[in-house]
Amino acid sequence: MNKNLELIKKAENKHDLYRDEIIELLKDGYCNEELFKAADRVRKEYVGDEVHLRGLIEFSNICKRNCMYCGLRRSNKNVKRYRLTPDEIIDLAKKAVGYGYKTVVMQSGEDEYYTVEKLKYIITNIKKMDIAITLSIGEKTMEEYKAYKEAGADRYLIRIETTDKKLYEDMDPGMSYEDRKRCLKALGSLGYEVGTGCLVGLPGQSIESLADDILFFKEIGADMIGLGPFIPNEDTPLAKEKGGDFNMSLKVMAIIRLLMPDTNIPATTAMETINKNGRIIALQSGANVVMPNITEGEYRKLYALYPGKICTGDTPDHCRGCITEKIKSIGRTVSESKGFRIHRCS
C-alpha cells in the first residue's frame, strides 16, 4: 500500500498524526480523493448526515483593525460603511426563526459602537426566541466575554488565521498573536463553544505552517473550525498576491475532520466563491455546517471581506431554500437541532 494511503488509514482509525505525517499528506497530490472519502466516512460516523444551518447576521462593516487581507480594514476608503441598530439586529434574528434557523451568528468588524450594554440588550432579546447565539466580533476583554456569556451567548468564533507568529503579526499590523491566543483560552474557560480557523494560501504561508494550524486546533480542542482560501481584495495591500488554492483548503479541512472527528466544520462561502460547487464538495469531504447569510438588502454587498462573494444579490428566504435543496441533492438532511458539538471522541 502507498505510504500516504497508510497515513490516511491511520488518521481515519486513530484520529492522530504526527506533524511530519500531516505535512506529507498536504504535499501529496495523488491521494486527494482517498483523503476526502475518508474524511466523509468519519464525518458520517461521528456527526451523521444532518447539516446544521446557522443564519449569519453581518451587522456592521466598521472595523478598527487594519488586517492586510480584509476588505473591511479601517484604511479602506472604497467601502461604504454601515451598522445596524440593536433593534434591527433583533428583527433579523426574529426573521431567522421564521425561516427555520435554530442558530444565528452575529458577525461584525471590531466596531466599538456596540458597547457591552448594547450587546447584552441584543443577546438577551434574541435568547428569548429559543435559539443558539454565536458571536463573531473580535478581541474583547475577559469581563466582556463573561458579560455576553451571562446574557445568553453560546458560542464565539475568533479565527487565529495563522499560527505562524511572524506571519500573523505581518498580516495583522498592531495586533498581537499572544493576545489572540489569550482570547481563545478565555472563551474556553468561560464555557463557550469555541470556534476558530485559518486562511489557506496567505502570502508567505508554508505547508509546515498549515500543519501547525491543524495541530493547534486539535491541541485547544476547538468546537468549530472554519477555513477557506485566501482571496485577494483589490482594496487591500495584498491586491496583487496569488490567491489560495481550493484543493489545499479542502485537504486542510479533511485532515481536521480525520483528527477531530466530532468537531463542527462549516462548508464556507469562500470555498464556493472560487469553486461554483465548493460548499457541496466541502460537505462531501468532511464538513457538516453551512452558514447562509440572512442579512438583508444592500448590506449583503457591503460586507465585502473579499471580491466575488456569492449570494449577495439573493434574499435570505431564497438562500435558505437554495441551500436546503443542495443539501437534499446529496442525500443529507437539514438538522432541526441547535447543533451543539456532541463529544464522541476523547
Per the annotation, does 31 bind a ligand?
A: no
> CA 121: distance to chain centroid?
25
First to last CA, the chain: 29
Per the annotation, does 70 bind a ligand?
A: yes
CA 311 vs CA 80, 196, 240, 269: distances in Å: 19, 24, 25, 9
168 near 146, Cβ under 8 Å? no
In angstroms, the CA 22 to CA 4 distance is: 10
In angstroms, the CA 283 to CA 327 distance is: 8
Beta strand pairing call for 55-60 and 103-108: parallel
The DSSP secondary-structure symbol of 163 reads: S
In angstroms, the CA 31 to CA 29 distance is: 6
Q: What cell was used for 199?
A: 486562511
Per the annotation, does 41 bind a ligand?
A: no
Per the annotation, does 136 bind a ligand?
A: yes
- Residue 143 exposed, middle or buried by CB count within 10 Å (0-12, 13-18, 19+): exposed
The DSSP secondary-structure symbol of 118 reads: H
In angstroms, the CA 198 to CA 101 distance is: 26
In 217-307, DSSP assigns E strands to 224-229, 289-290
Per the annotation, does 67 bind a ligand?
A: yes
User: What are all long-range contacts of 42-46, with beta carbons under 8 Å and residues at least 24 apart?
Assistant: 42/12, 42/15, 42/257, 42/258, 42/261, 42/286, 43/257, 43/261, 43/265, 43/286, 43/287, 43/288, 45/261, 46/261, 46/262, 46/344, 46/345
> CA 34: distance to chain centroid?
24
User: Which residues are annotated binding-site positions?
Assistant: 63, 67, 70, 136, 161, 180
User: Which residues are annotated binding-site positions for (3R)-3-methyl-D-ornithine?
Assistant: 136
User: Which residues are annotated binding-site positions for S-adenosyl-L-methionine?
Assistant: 161, 180
User: Which residues are annotated binding-site positions for [4Fe-4S] cluster?
Assistant: 63, 67, 70
